[in-house]
Amino acid sequence: MRLILSALILAMMTALPQTTIQAAPVAEEDRVPIDLRRTTLVVRDMEKSLAFYRDGLGLKVIYDQAVNTPRGASDEEAEVARRLVFLRANDDYIGIVGLLEYKKPRKPEPAERPVPFGPGTMIFVFNTDDVMTRFERMRTIEGVEVIDEPTEVTYPSYDGTGTIPVLMSAMSDPDGHVVELNQFIEGVPDRE
């Protein structure tokens, strides 16, 4: 059944317009005095997380360093040994995803995975023009849990008079962080 559904959605996707979403600065008169620079996730296993965010989603690593205490100490000598990785989509200053692994001492495992879309959970929303390809690649990564297969959903338009059709999918990464991977079906919606 899953293969049939995937084949139908893939056939539908080949007929969709391919649009790359380009971020643009906010007009000077609409700017606020703050930027969302980065969201950092504490992860259990950096390599599994990189398989998800770098290899699966396609984000680019722009920083990968040991952050140890005391500074400059090797992982073995350090009181606290961490690895910090930054990944970017299409901007190298805002919207960065950080991955932080505590190697020494290890952080305790959470009692259970967060409830997807439950109170207190964060949801990362990524847009792409190839949901099916990325979704199929990401679902095979160890520790990933599929929440929603790619499905067409509609959201109210910004002005409330129309709809925004989206091919929406959701999964949790190896640490339980929820990721929506979406594709606009009719191109980038007008925000006015």
Domain architecture of the chain: domains with CATH: 2-16+35-184 (3.10.180.10)
How far apart are the C-alpha atoms of 33 and 109, rounded to whole Å?
Answer: 37
Q: Work out the end-to-end distance of the chain between its first and last CA atoms, rounded to an integer number of angstroms.
A: 40
Residue 5, pLDDT score: 39
Phi and psi angles of residue 168, each rounded to the nearest 5 degrees, phi first: -110, 140
Q: Which residues contact 94 (CB under 8 A, 6 or more apart)?
A: 35, 36, 37
* Mean pLDDT within 101-128: 89
Question: How far apart, in Å, are the Cα atoms of 97 and each of 15, 43, 54, 142?
Answer: 32, 12, 10, 20
Q: State CA 41 to chain mean position distance.
A: 11
Q: Which residues contact 185 (CB under 8 A, 6 or more apart)?
A: 16, 152, 165, 166, 167
What tokens were used for 33? 């005095």
Residue 84, pLDDT score: 97
Residue 34, pLDDT score: 83
Q: Is the pLDDT of residue 60 over 90?
A: yes
What tokens were used for 66? 């040991």
Contact 60, 91 (CB under 8 A): no
Q: Is the pLDDT of residue 121 over 90?
A: no
Nearest to 56 by CA among 1, 124, 8, 9: 124
- The model's pTM is 0.81
Per-residue pLDDT of 132-172, as tens digits, reads 999 999 999 999 999 999 999 999 988 889 999 999 999 99
DSSP 113: P
Nearest to 169 by CA among 148, 184, 154: 148
Query: What helix, strand, coil percent values describe the chain, rounded to 5?
Result: 20, 35, 45
- For strand 60-66 and strand 96-104, is the pairing parallel, antiparallel, or unpaired? unpaired
Per-residue pLDDT of 12-55, as tens digits, reads 443 444 444 555 678 889 888 887 889 999 999 999 999 999 99
SS3 at position 179: strand
**Model confidence at 95, in pLDDT bands (50, 70, 90)?**
confident
Mean confidence (pLDDT) of the chain: 86
Nearest to 47 by CA among 95, 101, 96, 88: 101
8-17, 108-117, 164-173, 178-187: least confident range: 8-17
